[in-house]
Amino acid sequence: MPEAATTTAATPRERRHATTVLVIGTGGSGLRAAIELAEAGVDVLVVGKRPKADAHTSLAAGGINAALGTMDAEDTWQQHAADTITESYGLADPRTVEIVTRNGARGIEDLERYGMPFAREEDGRISQRFFGAHTYRRTAFSGDYTGLEIQRTLVNRAAALRIPIIDSLYVTRLLTADGAIFGAYGFDVVTGERALIHADAVILAAGGHNRIWRRTSSRRDENTGDSFRLAVEAGARLRDPELVQFHPSGILEPENAAGTLISEAARGEGGILRNALGERFMPKYDPERAELSTRDRVALACYTEIKEGRGTANGGVWLDVSHLPRETIMRRLPRVYQTMLELQMLDITTDPIEIAPTAHYSMGGVWVRPEDHSTDVPGLYAIGEAASGLHGANRLGGNSLIELLVYGRITAQAAAAYADALPAQVRSAAAVEAARAEIDDLLAADGPENVRALQRAIRNTMTEHAGVVRDEAGLTAGLAELDAIEARIAQIGIHPDIAGFQDLAHAFDLKSSALAARATLQAALERRETRGCHNRSDYPETDPALQVNLVWSADGTVEHEPIGDVPEEIAALMREVSVAGKLVE
Ligand SMILES: Cc1cc2nc3c(=O)[nH]c(=O)nc-3n(C[C@H](O)[C@H](O)[C@H](O)COP(=O)(O)OP(=O)(O)OC[C@H]3O[C@@H](n4cnc5c(N)ncnc54)[C@H](O)[C@@H]3O)c2cc1C
């Protein structure tokens, strides 16, 4: 027997759990769903692969949207819906948008009820500020650490409700029998102990796939496409995996922090973008708004400067705030100042920051129905960044966090109702055995290929061929590279050691990333147009015939899914909104 198998034999082979609803993911969406279930008296278990206090949601900075009208009384959910659909370049699902915007105020009330410390005006109203292309001030916040406070609030509420959370459990497979969900399988990332979880329904809240690019604002080992693989292997499909939001300004160094965001507030406060020749380039791309242009346009401008040879030696451009008064920087950009000192020993009051576009948010995701976020697989639901439907080809800043709150609640209710209505549940010993065998096989793998190196290879391929600008030749080359990488994945070696079973976790991350990369490349090939975040240099125009969602299946087919009509009351409010003075992130 190989050494790894001996290691696992020493630990209990498998721990069994049984629950009504299993939630995979301890970020904002997963916790919100779990709270809804626990408050309704429904048995729930939450699992995650990293410490719950530190889930990806805690990184969110700028704020959370709802048309509360606390600052601008004219605001309505209909206007919020109109702004969301306009910003999506027509690809958002109008029913999903309506559900999120109508229920946004309820989402904020829920957070208040759990004790969220929102910033408030002197008279006690929740403060709301401008964020990106919103018509009115509708972004509620807590300093510049809104996500952290939301995560803390939800973790505390979950603790008060005594919700069981295992945040060291890596889910490797969803379990299905006769096409319906009956649980999930995984292992503990510290001890290697296996877990077999029986559940009536499963809510997948395991994040997106933007870590498959070289520069990403995601945490290390998060957003590796796990939701995509778990759902697809269970029989679900993906919608618009090619639609990925690139943030204009991620740092380049150090390598292990590449992609860490420099807040858009740096441009909002008067920061200037220059290429390696010292030229201020934004007026060339957007003469009116220059650095205050929209996120997708600034990302494209930076990309173009770099691609056309006017970038720095490291492949970046310069973001300069050093001309601003020192007090402005210390007061308005304290996090940027601190981050750059900590990561690069760079003083932004005197030196420019080297930045490049960075993968930031998966706007596509698992195909779900708008009403309840159910998938094609009975008993399987997907929420949060794992799901799709709200953002289309460009996400309105602050909409992701409210989506977690709204669909966390609605989907939990739907999953509980599904469980209630189950007359009996079929299970499959063969499915469990296959899940066990998958881990056994990986632990026994002692080939020459290194998991980390292959993750890097995927990230290089995606950055080279499916970044801010794409074309047919590049995407086709990307798929060929991916074929070669997948052949190498068959030759990996896994070496769990006393530090835990991270190597095994990374191997599963790698499998997920490969699937997410393939879906992204194939859907990007099919979208022969330029729209929002998706720039095809060989198809520079928007094609009205492609105002559809692209639905990807495991066999590589990509279907065109029509988008419903925008209700008249919302359509009447749609217009392009200026972002000037609203870059706060
Ligand atoms: C720097 C930054 C700033 C942002 N700012 C804003 C903002 O101001 N406003 C806004 O609306 N949005 C913002 N966003 C986006 C927003 O934070 C995220 O989209 C959102 O938090 C995602 O929440 P989630 O619950 O879907 O998933 P996450 O918070 O990503 O949680 C996913 C969970 O799934 C678990 N998981 C993953 N795979 C597995 C597996 N195989 N087994 C077990 N568990 C697994 C993870 O451990 C984690 O607990 C920002 C994002 C970033 C990166």
Nearest to 108 by CA among 53, 51, 160, 149: 149
Sign of CA dihedral 102, 107, 110, 116: negative
Q: What is the pLDDT of residue 130?
A: 82
Nearest to 227 by CA among 374, 364, 382, 371: 382
Q: What is the pLDDT of residue 51?
A: 93
Whether residue 225 has its Cβ less than 6 Å from ligand 1: no
Mean pLDDT confidence for 229-243:
98
Residue 132: C-alpha distances to residues 104, 268, 279, 296, 506 (Å): 18, 10, 26, 11, 36
Question: Do 274 and 352 form a contact (C-beta atoms < 8 A)?
Answer: yes
Whether residue 27 has its Cβ less than 6 Å from ligand 1: yes
498 has pLDDT over 80: no
**Which residue has a Cα nearest atom 41 of ligand 1?**
171
**Distance from the CA of 437 to the center of ligand 1, in angstroms?**
30
The 10 Å Cβ neighbour count of residue 477 is: 15
Nearest-angstrom CA–CA distance, 377 and 568: 33
362 has pLDDT over 80: yes
Whether residue 404 has its Cβ less than 6 Å from ligand 1: yes
For residue 253, the 8-state DSSP code is -
User: How does 490-509 read in b/e, with b if 16+ C-beta sit within 10 Å?
Assistant: eebbbebeeeebbbbbbbbb
Q: What is the pLDDT of residue 497?
A: 74
- Per residue in 277-336, pLDDT tens? 999 999 999 898 888 887 888 999 999 999 999 999 999 999 999 999 999 888 878 888
Mean pLDDT confidence for 381-404:
96
560 is catalytic: no
584 has pLDDT over 50: no
Whether residue 393 has its Cβ less than 6 Å from ligand 1: no
427 is catalytic: no
Percent of the chain having pLDDT more than 70?
A: 96
**Distance from the CA of 401 to the center of ligand 1, in angstroms?**
9
576 CB contacts (<8 Å, ≥6 apart)?
86, 133
Region class of 143: left (phi > 0), else alpha (psi between -120 and 50), else beta: left
Predicted confidence band of residue 274 (pLDDT cuts 50, 70, 90) = very high
Question: Do 211 and 224 form a contact (C-beta atoms < 8 A)?
Answer: yes
Nearest-angstrom CA–CA distance, 168 and 101: 34
Q: What is the pLDDT of residue 578?
A: 59
Q: For residue 538, how far is the Cα from the chain centroid?
A: 28
**Distance from the CA of 327 to the center of ligand 1, in angstroms?**
33
219 has pLDDT over 50: yes
**Which residue has a Cα nearest atom 10 of ligand 1?**
398
- Per residue in 432-444, pLDDT tens? 999 999 999 999 9
Please provide residue 487's backbone torsions phi and psi, each rounded to the nearest 5 degrees: -65, -35
Q: What is the pLDDT of residue 7?
A: 43
Q: What is the pLDDT of residue 580?
A: 55
Residue 18: C-alpha distances to residues 180, 231, 424, 541 (Å): 16, 20, 15, 52
**Distance from the CA of 55 to the center of ligand 1, in angstroms?**
6
Higher pLDDT, 577 or 382: 382
Question: Do 269 and 275 form a contact (C-beta atoms < 8 A)?
Answer: no
Sign of CA dihedral 82, 88, 91, 97: negative
Token pair listed for 407: 């669909």
Q: For residue 419, how far is the Cα from the chain centroid?
A: 28
DSSP string, 229-251: HHHHHHT--EE-TT-EEEEEEEE
Q: Which ligand 1 atom is at minimum distance from the Cα of 56?
A: 29
* Mean pLDDT, the chain, integer: 93
* Helix or strand (DSSP H, E) at 175: strand 169-177
Question: Do 121 and 23 form a contact (C-beta atoms < 8 A)?
Answer: no
Q: What is the pLDDT of residue 581?
A: 52
Best of 84, 385, 508 to mutate for ligand 1, by most ligand atoms within 8 A of CB? 385
10 has pLDDT over 60: no
Name the least confident of 244-248, 285-289, 469-473: 285-289
Q: Which ligand 1 atom is at minimum distance from the Cα of 230?
A: 41
**Which residue has a Cα nearest atom 38 of ligand 1?**
206
407 has pLDDT over 60: yes
Nearest-angstrom CA–CA distance, 419 and 414: 9
Sign of CA dihedral 308, 314, 319, 325: negative
Q: Which ligand 1 atom is at minimum distance from the Cα of 402?
A: 11
Q: What is the pLDDT of residue 3?
A: 41
Mean pLDDT confidence for 124-149:
88
Sign of CA dihedral 293, 294, 295, 299: negative
Residue at 372: amino acid letter? D
**Distance from the CA of 438 to the center of ligand 1, in angstroms?**
27
Of the residues 32, 137, 267, 531, which is catalytic? 267
Q: Which ligand 1 atom is at minimum distance from the Cα of 585?
A: 8
Q: Which ligand 1 atom is at minimum distance from the Cα of 31?
A: 25
Whether residue 62 has its Cβ less than 6 Å from ligand 1: yes
Best of 400, 403, 585 to mutate for ligand 1, by most ligand atoms within 8 A of CB? 400
Whether residue 47 has its Cβ less than 6 Å from ligand 1: yes
**Which residue has a Cα nearest atom 51 of ligand 1?**
60
Token pair listed for 347: 């003083």
Nearest-angstrom CA–CA distance, 247 and 273: 14
Sign of CA dihedral 472, 474, 480, 482: negative
Question: Do 550 and 240 form a contact (C-beta atoms < 8 A)?
Answer: yes
Higher pLDDT, 174 or 258: 174
Is the bond preceding residue 254 a cis peptide, omega within 30 degrees?
A: yes
Whether residue 100 has its Cβ less than 6 Å from ligand 1: no
Of the residues 247, 274, 360, 373, which is catalytic? 247
Whether residue 60 has its Cβ less than 6 Å from ligand 1: yes
Q: What is the pLDDT of residue 8?
A: 45
Higher pLDDT, 454 or 9: 454
Whether residue 262 has its Cβ less than 6 Å from ligand 1: no
Give all strands of the β-sheet with 353-362 in edge-to-edge order.
244-251, 353-362, 317-320, 272-274
Whether residue 154 has its Cβ less than 6 Å from ligand 1: no
Whether residue 382 has its Cβ less than 6 Å from ligand 1: no
Whether residue 240 has its Cβ less than 6 Å from ligand 1: no
Q: What is the CA radius of gyration of the chain?
A: 23
53 has pLDDT over 70: yes
Whether residue 147 has its Cβ less than 6 Å from ligand 1: yes
Predicted confidence band of residue 428 (pLDDT cuts 50, 70, 90) = very high
